[in-house]
Amino acid sequence: MLQRTKHFLGVEKSVSGRQWLDRLDENASRAATAMSQQLQISEIVARVMAGRGVSLENAEQFLTPTLRDLMPDPTMLTGMEELVDRLVCAVQNNEQVALFGDYDVDGATSVALITRYLTGVGLDPLVYIPDRIFEGYGPNNGAIDQLIDDGATLIVTLDCGTTSLGPIAHAKKKGVDILVIDHHMVDGELPGADGLVNPNRLDDISQLGHLCAAGVTFMVLVALNRRLRDAGVKPLPDLMSMTDLVALGTVCDVVPLKGLNRAFVQRGIETMRKGSNIGIAALAMAARVSGPLNPYHLGFVIGPRINAGGRIGDASLGAKLLSTSDEHDAMHLASQLDQLNVERQQIEKQAVDEAIAVADAEIGEGEGPPIIVVASPDWHQGVVGLVAARLKERFNRPAFAIAQRPDGSGTGSGRSIPGVDLGAAVLEAVSKGLIPKGGGHAMAAGISVSKGQIGGFRSYMSEKLEDDVQSAQKDSGLKVDAALTARGATIDFLHAVEKAGPFGSGNPGPVFALPAHRVTFSDIVGVGGHVKVSLISQDRARINGIAFRAADTALGQFLLEARNSDPIHVVGTLSINHWQGREEVQLRIMDAAPMG
């Protein structure tokens, strides 16, 4: 017998056109009750855990994830021993090592991890981060030649290199050894590197494919540390003091926060709050972060500023900031990145507005295509990933944004929705000759297109992903964990809920419904068109909320018009806002619905 859909608060269609669903089915509800009783935790915390597939048997470990319990032997990763052998040789012979990293946060944190470690054992590594616009992703012959000219005898690529067959062959031909530490999808032949560790290579059975590059890099350093200790090398760096970098890379690369990744983030945030990495501390200060750092700050405050260097400025700034031990340098670099982020926001807004207008016209009043592919010669290549992300959020389907060159070629970035593997589809498009270059993972991908290829690429991706998109959209109702009122949304309640964190991709933050609350204030604030509101419950308790970038959406208009009107249902996530030494609970509004 088919089970009827259980709509939360009876909302079958919200103002945003979504149904609200109870995240827990009957089995999960029973599991939540059992967890609450046996572990002596609140019913709502137990519901949050059960709604994410946590069973009674593993609930205790879920609440206290530790690297000691969850870190496997690094040699489980295929190629680890060969790669570490070469690194040990480099350390023992005091070689000139060069690090070639990607220009995003995962690349910067990976480079900083290796830099800090090798510096700690007496080496002085060279660092090369390519320019996103002029060099593109991954190693290139010119960069390799430069590093060899600077004396490098060993080049290590980080967060890139798996698909760089040509440049790695060039390095070998020039007589330099090269190692690859990566996590991106692999399709077919591997390059002829002297060592390649990537949990997503086809012959790897470690089941660690969910790690970001910083996580894989940390695994390499654990193995290297063990080998150097056995060889009698002293002193050795403190790896646990570097977990803040792993946490930053893990959150910003939006890999699933499950298993080892949760332990990385939890331990890393503890380390980060001690201020041991002066680069992260300086950037938090430049960004005017108040209160202790948390995953939100990493993903939406710290990460975007590090990325700003690679998007529109000097791509090496992020790696330099995260690697430095000089407080003056850290403050200077943080200030540069903060200013670049302001410029990036302005460039992004213009491109996003144009892209939304094009997509709106294409979709019209109907369902529209299963995937959005938009392009413009006016867009900065450094922000197309952000444009794609905004399109994906607004239209609930995968999206690509492409920055075109005068000759009609271009570079683009795509973002996907859960249940639609974008990276695999892009690799197939490359194998069929539809585009010259592309790759990524399930939720994000990068592409290059030649003149006249955009139409064919759009048609192929639409046909390839149509069924997956339709299936994902059917399952994309807003899942609600529990209902509570403004009276129950206290600081103590949030601290209790945080025990089920850290939250992010793969372990989504809990979504709460506030039923029958009145809007006593609503207005548009900020340059992004955010809608700020004050809500009051039936027992006169108050809570402030904000709907980000909502002013020109149905949700924003509904909240503005609901001021001093009938009670409404509101759904969102809760956070603690720190301001002038005070703590206040704030609701980040995701959706709303009229009562009845």
b/e map of 288-313 (b: 16 or more CB within 10 Å)? ebeeebbbbbbbebbbbbbbbbbbbb
How far, in Å, are 215, 486, 534, 555, 564 from residue 520 at the CA level? 46, 13, 6, 16, 5
Q: Give tens-digit pLDDT for 137-182.
A: 899 999 999 999 999 999 999 999 999 999 999 999 999 999 999 9
Q: Are 154 and 139 in contact (CB under 8 A)?
A: no
Q: Interior CA angle at 589 toward 587 and 590, to 5°?
A: 140
Which stretch of 74-83, 123-132, 139-148, 471-480 has the lowest confidence by average pLDDT?
Answer: 471-480
pLDDT given at position 460: 97
Average pLDDT for 223-239:
96
pLDDT given at position 473: 84
Phi, psi of 295 (to 5 degrees): -55, -35
Contacts of 266 (CB under 8 A, 6+ apart): 65, 247, 501, 502
Q: Are 533 and 557 in contact (CB under 8 A)?
A: no
Q: 3-class SS at 368?
A: coil
Q: Give tens-digit pLDDT for 559-595.
A: 999 999 999 999 999 999 887 778 899 999 999 999 9
Q: Tokens in use for 173?
A: 């031909």
pLDDT given at position 379: 96
Distance CA 108, CA 305 (A): 12
Q: Give tens-digit pLDDT for 411-425.
A: 999 999 988 999 999
Per-residue pLDDT at 3 exceeds 70 = no
Q: Give tens-digit pLDDT for 182-214.
A: 999 887 799 999 999 999 999 999 999 999 999
pLDDT given at position 577: 87
Q: Give tens-digit pLDDT for 257-314.
A: 999 999 999 999 999 999 989 999 999 999 999 889 999 999 999 999 999 999 999 9
pLDDT given at position 10: 94
Per-residue pLDDT at 557 exceeds 90 = yes
pLDDT given at position 11: 95
pLDDT given at position 2: 39
Per-residue pLDDT at 94 exceeds 90 = yes
Q: Give tens-digit pLDDT for 522-551.
A: 999 987 799 999 999 999 999 999 999 899
Per-residue pLDDT at 596 exceeds 90 = no
Domains for the chain: give ranges and CATH numbers. Answer: 8-21+481-594 (2.40.50.460), 69-340 (3.90.1640.30), 367-474 (3.10.310.30)
Per-residue pLDDT at 427 exceeds 60 = yes
Q: Give tens-digit pLDDT for 495-523.
A: 999 989 999 888 999 999 999 999 999 99
pLDDT given at position 138: 92
Distance CA 196, CA 79 (A): 6
Distance CA 179, CA 177 (A): 7
pLDDT given at position 304: 96
Distance CA 435, CA 430 (A): 5
pTM: 0.89
pLDDT given at position 474: 78
% pLDDT > 70, the chain: 99
Per-residue pLDDT at 1 exceeds 70 = no
Per-residue pLDDT at 5 exceeds 70 = no
% pLDDT > 90, the chain: 86
The reply to whether omega before 436 is within 30° of 0 (cis) is no
pLDDT given at position 580: 74
As a whole number, the mean pLDDT across the chain is 94
